[in-house]
Amino acid sequence: MKSFFQKLNANKSKKLAIALAVALSAATFAGCSLGSSTTPAKNTSSSAQQTQQANLDNLSDARNTPTVRAAAAVGPSVVGITNKAVARDFFNNPVESQGVGSGVIFKNDGGKSYIVTNNHVVDGASELIVSLSDGRSLPGKLVGADALTDLAVVQVDDGNLPTADFGDSDATVVGESVIAIGNPMGLEFQGSVTSGVVSALNRTLGDGDARIKLVQTDAAINP
């Protein structure tokens, strides 16, 4: 687990940081929304995507804002992650629980696609299901996780998925525009977009020496 994250090297760490703060904020920071949900049929989703693209092609320059373009570019790489776990009721009987979070596809390699998410989204899972923007659902496999930074990587068996282009968090400045994309209240609200600005840089969270640097944003994020 530890060696996997070491392989992401220093450059990847910077890219991962900005993705965590911006692309994942409304999604995986939202945590798990308890309750069951359904995934739309593939043909329905494909039709909706075609309609969306047609609408984008017909937008005037005034309406085709950076937020619209960013949502269109990054949205297909944002996924839903369903965490199926087994808990115990009052009588110590096994009861299946289910939560939903989000993630971002960041890499295709060797017939596999890799998704960065939060550790609390996948923690304790007996089964992971990844819901793609095209309407498909694929079984996910936990590759590595780090509780301190609340990061995790999930793998699916499809090496040809849309990926997000990560930026450099060191180049971020206060006041820049931010959009957050994710599933704040389960897959019924998949692909929700909120906007705001970078409120502050180098915020820290944690105790003692175990403090993590964060990017603060006022984009709406559901707990």
Mean pLDDT of the chain: 77
> In which band, very low, low, confident or very high, does the pLDDT at 44 lie, cut at 50, 70 and 90?
very low
| 2-217: CATH number | 2.40.10.120
> Which of 94, 117, 87, 122 has its CA nearest to residue 105?
117
194-200 average pLDDT score: 95
82-105 average pLDDT score: 81
Q: What's the token pair of residue 4?
A: 């996997």
> Does residue 128 carry a pLDDT above 80?
yes
Which pLDDT does position 223 carry in this prediction? 65
> Does residue 34 carry a pLDDT above 50?
no
Which pLDDT does position 46 carry in this prediction? 59
Which pLDDT does position 148 carry in this prediction? 86
> Token pair 């790489």 is at which residue?
77
pTM of the model: 0.72
Cα distance between residue 129 and residue 70, in whole Å: 26
Q: Which helix (H) or strand (E) holds 86?
A: strand 78-88
Which pLDDT does position 50 carry in this prediction? 66
Q: Lowest-confidence range among 30-34, 99-103, 158-162?
A: 30-34
Cα atoms in the 13 Å half-sphere on the side-chain side of 2: 1
- Strand intervals (E) in 93-191: 94-109, 112-117, 127-131, 137-146, 151-156, 177-182
Domain boundaries, the chain: 2-217
Torsion angle (degrees, nearest 10) of CA 177, 216, 186, 57: 10
Cα distance between residue 61 and residue 87, in whole Å: 52
> Does residue 200 carry a pLDDT above 90?
yes
Which pLDDT does position 49 carry in this prediction? 65
